[in-house]
């Protein structure tokens, strides 16, 4: 019978979610990481199933020991580069986004027979060896990130392994479970990411062209969710006909979305201003007519539990034609943003249209 190496990367470490926003963002973050792991394949792995926060994979082209270690190293490095990069770019403070850097990754490997079962149009590995690797998910390895080899896998590689492997035996209701594991926690500690925020235009020290303020009867976090979740944009920004964005990713610094207007389009990029303790959301575009650049920051200052001062700072860098029309442009934009704030207040009064607040 043909042999296979069964391979399972398994993500763990999320805190318990307490509301729907955190669940939704958690799903998006895990999906991004699982996609990243699939794209980090170096040993011709085939995906069988996505099992919660884990991938069940196999290959019949059995890698040697060095190739197996390289595979786990590449996945771990890419995994932690992504989580650390996400931490530096996130704008959301929900439990899922806030604890992304706490996520950990472990690997389970088993060597055994390759048999298949076919049900209608679905064919996948089946049998005792599939059961064995899934049993390894329930183990008592005392470290958080590791490579675990079943007895069979260790026997296959025993002439190549080094002295860093630790043998463990456990007993559970299915009998004795023997395996070997190698600590991989040092890989995360060595992962470095470049400063990716250096290209974001810094306007925080500039004076805004327009400043608007409004008191809203809701808490700052709810308001922040409404203005930063792109799927809600059309509810309070009536200038926008449609928002085009990647619905499978969480909005963060550098995220781009396209606002389809009655006439034309505006491509915005999410930007940051981290100089305040208040919740702040910002965007920038170079597509607005008569401007070289248009940026805004919405600052939310808590007055009371359900009362928030909303301060909107608008920055206009006009082009040559725009400077001749500055007065009219400023008047038009001020009117538009006052309308947005009024509409935002109406939207917040009717939370039934939201699933996440």
Domain map of the chain by residue range? 3-190, 210-353
Collect the ranges in the chain with pLDDT lower than 70: 15-19, 21, 173-174, 195-205, 273-276, 352-357
The whole-number pLDDT of residue 352 equals: 59
The whole-number pLDDT of residue 198 equals: 45
Residue 52, CA distances (Å) to 8, 12, 154, 327, 348 in order: 12, 10, 26, 56, 34
Q: Report the alpha-carbon distance of residue 150 to residue 136 in Å, rounded.
A: 8
Let me know: does 234 contact 260? Beta carbons within 8 Å: no
Please name the residues in contact with 331: beta carbons below 8 A apart, sequence gap of 6 or more: none
Q: Report the alpha-carbon distance of residue 300 to residue 16 in Å, rounded.
A: 27
What is the helix, strand, coil percentage profile of the chain, to 5?
35, 35, 30
Q: Two tokens at 4? A: 């296979």
The whole-number pLDDT of residue 306 equals: 93
The whole-number pLDDT of residue 130 equals: 96
The whole-number pLDDT of residue 254 equals: 95
Let me know: does 107 contact 10? Beta carbons within 8 Å: yes
The whole-number pLDDT of residue 200 equals: 45
The whole-number pLDDT of residue 332 equals: 96
β-pair type (104-113, 146-150): parallel
The whole-number pLDDT of residue 192 equals: 87
Q: Report the alpha-carbon distance of residue 89 to residue 131 in Å, rounded.
A: 40
Please tell me the CATH superfamily of domain 3-190, with its number. Answer: Nucleotide cyclase, GGDEF domain (3.30.70.1230)
210-353 folds as Alpha-D-Glucose-1,6-Bisphosphate; Chain A, domain 4 (3.30.530)
């Amino acid at each position: 019978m043909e042999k296979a190496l069964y391979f399972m990367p398994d993500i763990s470490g999320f805190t318990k979610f307490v509301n729907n926003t955190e669940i939704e963002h958690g799903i998006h973050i895990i999906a991004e990481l699982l996609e990243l792991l699939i794209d980090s394949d170096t040993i011709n792995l085939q995906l069988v199933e996505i099992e919660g926060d884990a991938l069940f994979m196999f290959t019949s082209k059995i890698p040697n020991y060095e190739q197996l270690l390289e595979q786990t190293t590449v996945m771990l490095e890419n995994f932690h580069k992504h989580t650390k990069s996400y931490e530096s770019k996130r704008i959301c403070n929900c439990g899922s986004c806030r604890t992304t850097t706490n996520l950990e990754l472990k690997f389970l490997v088993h060597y055994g027979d390759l048999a298949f079962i076919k049900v209608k149009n679905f064919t996948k590995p089946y049998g005792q060896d599939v059961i064995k690797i899934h049993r390894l998910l329930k183990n008592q390895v005392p470290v958080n990130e590791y490579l675990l080899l079943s007895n069979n896998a260790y026997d296959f590689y025993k002439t190549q392994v080094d002295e860093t492997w630790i043998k463990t035996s456990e007993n559970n209701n299915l009998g004795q479970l023997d395996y070997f594991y190698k600590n991989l926690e040092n890989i995360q500690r060595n992962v470095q990411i470049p400063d990716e925020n250096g290209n974001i235009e810094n306007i925080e020290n500039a004076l805004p062209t327009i400043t608007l303020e409004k008191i809203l009867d809701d808490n700052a976090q709810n308001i922040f969710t409404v203005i930063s979740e792109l799927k809600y944009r059309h509810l309070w920004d009536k200038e926008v006909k449609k928002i085009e964005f990647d619905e499978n990713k969480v909005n963060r610094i550098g995220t781009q979305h396209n606002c389809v207007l009655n006439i034309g389009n505006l491509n915005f990029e999410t930007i940051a201003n981290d100089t305040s303790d208040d919740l702040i959301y910002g965007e920038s575009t170079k597509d607005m007519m008569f401007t070289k650049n248009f940026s805004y920051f919405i600052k939310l200052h808590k007055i009371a539990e359900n009362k928030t001062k909303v301060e909107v700072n608008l920055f206009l860098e006009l082009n040559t034609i725009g400077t001749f029309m500055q007065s009219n442009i400023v008047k038009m934009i001020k009117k538009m943003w006052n309308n947005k704030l009024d509409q935002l207040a109406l939207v917040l009064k009717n939370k039934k249209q939201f699933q996440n607040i």
